[in-house]
Amino acid sequence: MRAIRFENAGNADVIKLVEEPLPQLRPDDLLVRVHAAGLNRADILQREGFYGEQPDFGDSVIPGLEIAGEVVGAGVDAQRTKN
């Protein structure tokens, strides 16, 4: 899969488009085929180094907290809810 990554804090030129393996689904996870993604303020602050070392922040080292797409896989404990 394609993903954006940055290894060190810095300005926008530290962001790179890379190939990553598909993540392993944990029991409560959803796998989403992303059609659109955005970097929000939290992602930008993380890139600028305001959240400490990147691997210590959140469940993933891949930024992009805002996405739109389709669910293509679900962990064994993931549950569908009605709105």
User: What are the sequence ranges of the domains in the chain?
Assistant: 2-74
Read off the pLDDT of residues 27-81 as tens digits, 9 standing for 90 and up: 988 999 999 988 888 888 878 887 766 555 456 667 777 899 999 999 999 987 7
Residues 6+ apart with CB under 8 A from 12: 47
pTM for the model stands at 0.70
Q: How many residues belong to the chain?
A: 83
Tell me the mean pLDDT in the region 1-22.
87
Cβ-contact 31, 59 below 8 angstroms: no
CATH number of 2-74: 3.90.180.10
